Each structure stands twice: as C-alpha cells, then as structure tokens.
C-alpha cells in the first residue's frame, strides 16, 4: 500500500486529516504509528474543529518537521530548510484548493450543529476532506 492509500485508509477508519497525513511518513522517520496518531490527534478539522489551518496541512507540517526540522541548538540551516518547505507545501496546496483555511475550504462552521449536519449530509468527509488528505500526501512525496 502506498502512502496515499495508507492515508485514505486511515481517514476512512475515522482518524482525522492530520493523523492520516502524518502517519504514513512517521514510521519512515523513526516514530511509531501509535505515537504519530496521538501527536496529531488534536489537529483535525483545522485544529479541534476551530477550522483554522486545514488538518491535512498541519499533519504535513509535522511530517516535514520530522524529516527536516531543527533538533540541535543553533542549527539555523535545518530551521530555514523546514520553514521553506512548509511555505512551499502551503503555497502549492493553496494553488490547488484556493485556501489553507479549513472553514473556507469546507464552507461550513463545524462548531455548530447545523454546520456538522451539513458536513455529514453533503458527505464532505469523502468529497472534500479526502481530496485534501490525498493532495497533502502527494505534495509531501514531492518535497521529501
């Protein structure tokens, strides 16, 4: 199973978008699967349904950090490389989908019962969010 298939499978099993994106990259970086799922647990739906930055992106930011992030004091090159990759990743995602903001991407307020109902009724989980997960994983494969 490739990374995109793995991410979509996790997402269809009820894991959030950030978890689904981070997990296929985590083990390759030396993080166990359970830890990856737990770390990304609060980032779905634009961070706990706050609908800020799309969870597929924040999962991607964590993956980029695992591979490129600064882990030694004073390693400015690693920090800058990671920041550059995050900006590139975000810019490409926004070019494809028009935004990186969860609420703008979905057009509903997930903090309201009405918004959650519309999200479910219109099957946004599969017709929108699943595509954002796929895009994030595909872009990460290009960058990493």
What SS3 class is residue 101? strand
Which residues sit opposite 53 in a β-bridge? 101
CB atoms < 10 A from the CB of 115, how many?
Answer: 17
CB atoms < 10 A from the CB of 82, how many?
Answer: 18
Note down pLDDT in tens along the chain; length 144 residues. Answer: 899 999 999 999 999 999 999 999 998 899 999 999 999 999 999 999 999 999 999 999 999 999 999 999 999 999 999 999 999 999 999 999 999 999 999 999 999 999 999 999 999 999 999 999 999 999 999 999
Task: Give which of 108, 107, 64 is closest to 85, Cα–Cα.
Answer: 64
pTM of the model: 0.95
């Amino acid at each position: 199973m490739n990374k995109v298939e793995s991410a979509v499978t996790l997402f269809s099993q009820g894991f959030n978008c950030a978890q689904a994106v981070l997990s296929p990259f985590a083990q390759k970086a030396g993080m166990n699967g359970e830890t990856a799922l737990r770390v990304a647990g609060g980032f779905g739906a634009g961070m706990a349904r706050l609908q800020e930055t799309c969870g597929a992106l924040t999962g991607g930011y964590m993956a980029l950090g695992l591979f490129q992030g600064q882990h030694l004091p004073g390693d400015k090159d690693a920090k800058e490389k990671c920041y550059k990759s995050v900006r590139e990743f975000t810019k490409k995602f926004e070019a494809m989908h028009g935004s990186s903001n969860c609420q703008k991407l979905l057009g509903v307020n997930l903090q309201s019962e009405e918004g959650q109902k519309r999200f479910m009724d219109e099957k946004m989980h599969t017709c929108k969010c699943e595509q954002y997960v796929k895009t994030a994983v595909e872009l990460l494969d290009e960058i990493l």
